Amino acid sequence: MSFLFVREDREYLLAPGDTLETDLGVLEVPEDVESGETVETHLGEQFTARALRGPDLFNHFERTGAPMMPRDIGLVIGHTGVSGDDRVLDAGTGTGVLAAYLGRCGADVTTYERDPEFAEVARENVRLAGVADRVDVRTGDVTAELDGLVDGGDGEAFDVLTLDTQDAPAVVARAPDLVADGGYVAVYSPFVEQTQEVVAAAREAGLGDVESLETIQREMDFDDRGSRPSTAGVGHTGYLTFARRV
């Protein structure tokens, strides 16, 4: 298990046994280090070991593209209620941020990534997150595997279906075969046109509680003159569509 080693505004992601050379000296991480312990460089400068939390994963995962933002992940978790012992089918693994978050919620996740190199990076990231035993990263196109995944592939349906892929509408059309009664579908879409296709597929499939949300988040600025939303950045990330098998 890796830890963040923190000193003031610095933080380094290191595993037990790692060695890091800095301007503050050489930091050698003990094999038996635990969260909260202080480790000194050879110059006597102290760093504190800190266990990884979800936002740390987002900040330190190796990137293979634009990962889903924490604000979107929060909506997925909140709207689907994913929790321990849930079975999740995910497609469009990418960096693996969403799959890792879901695994840290206690869910068992089967996630598909078409690009072999991306899939390998995602495997390393979920190992870093400490959920390699819960997150199965598979290389392949989920649409080609749907027949084998019906009822979870072993007679047990998935509780949640999460998608971040261009062919999401085709997978949503099969949701009644994949998702357990009362289970949820969550789709992230970067464009309105794809969102419309997802909504149409969900309704055609007979799913209920279909809703789409644009995710926008604005920071607040506070100074001596007053308070107002920040003018830096638009704050838009994408569109999320949710539906439920009823």
DSSP character string of 144-183:
HHHHHHGGGGTT--EEEEEE-STTHHHHHTTHHHHEEEEE
Pairing relationship of beta strands 158-163 and 179-189 according to DSSP bridges:
parallel
Measure Cα distances from 59 to 2, 44, 99 in Å: 14, 28, 15
In degrees and rounded to multiples of 5, residue 117 shows phi and psi of -70, -40
Q: pLDDT of 156-191, one tens digit each?
A: 799 999 999 999 999 999 999 999 999 999 999 999
Task: Give the fold, CATH level 3, of 56-244.
Answer: Rossmann fold (3.40.50)
Measure Cα distances from 19 to 10, 29, 122 in Å: 16, 6, 24
> What is the torsional sign of CA 123, 128, 131, 132?
positive
36: Cβ–Cβ under 8 A, 6 or more apart, which residues?
Answer: 48, 49, 50
Return mean pLDDT, the chain. Answer: 92
pLDDT (average), residues 47-69: 87
Please give the torsion angle defined by the CA atoms of residues 89, 93, 95 and 98, in that order, rounded to the nearest 10 degrees: -30
How remote is the C-alpha of 156 from its chain's centroid? Answer: 24
CATH architecture of 3-51: Roll (3.10)
Asked if pLDDT for residue 154 goes beyond 70, the answer is no
pLDDT of residue 2: 85
pLDDT of residue 105: 94
Identify which of 140, 102, 137, 97 has the alpha carbon closest to the alpha carbon of residue 120: 137
pTM of the model: 0.87
Q: Output 46 or 15, whichever has higher pLDDT.
A: 46
Q: pLDDT of 77-114, one tens digit each?
A: 999 999 998 999 999 999 999 999 999 999 999 999 99
- The structural domains of the chain, with segments of one domain joined by +, span 3-51, 56-244
Which tokens in the block code for residue 121? 């990076």
Asked if pLDDT for residue 153 goes beyond 70, the answer is no
Rounded to an integer, what distance in angstroms lies between the CA atom of residue 36 and that of residue 48?
6
Identify which of 67, 76, 75, 70 has the alpha carbon closest to the alpha carbon of residue 160: 76
pLDDT of residue 151: 55
